[in-house]
Amino acid sequence: MARRHDPERRRRIIDAAIRVVGRSGIAGLSHRSVAAEADVPLGSTTYHFKTLDELMVAALRQANEGFAAVLAARGGPQDARTDLAAELAALMGAWLAGDRTGVELEYELYLAALRRPALRPVAAEWGDAVVEQLSGRTDPVTARALVALMDGILLQALLTGTPYDEAYARDVLGRVIPAG
């Protein structure tokens, strides 16, 4: 029997993995659960992703694209005429106002890197990419501090269920950014 050409199958499997983790957490992720969610044969998931770590790396990389898309859509962080703290605070608010499940998923995969070394390089890519973009506005050490602070603010909002406070975020981010 000829194999049906399905160039989008890999992407559908990744999308399915993201939905499974979003619904059931990392503990619910298996080749079998992803195959069922993607409506593909089990062999397809293991063909494209030999291990669950490979699948999680692909899912985290795709989830990272969510924040990158929000950042790219807002040119303010790179524009020296804008208030960087205000731009970053608004950016975080826009990200949380979008698909909050996607934000939660990204952090769940990000934190899974604590126990899964294969995820660490891709988890670091997010921070490195934001640091690179912010380094055009401030020094690299301050850019890294801003990323750490943003992570903390976002995690607190997600973990406590409290509404995101953009004014608070703007204030604390502004305290880290050297006066120009």
CATH class, 1-50 region: mainly alpha
Global pTM value? 0.80
Query: Is residue 35 over pLDDT 60?
Result: yes
Which tens digit of pLDDT belongs to each residue from 113-138?
888 898 889 888 888 888 888 888 89
Structure confidence at residue 40 as a pLDDT band (50, 70, 90)? very high
CATH class, 62-176 region: mainly alpha
Contacts 24+ apart (CB under 8 A), 26-35: 26/56, 26/108, 26/109, 26/112, 29/55, 29/56, 31/55
Task: State the average pLDDT for the chain.
Answer: 87
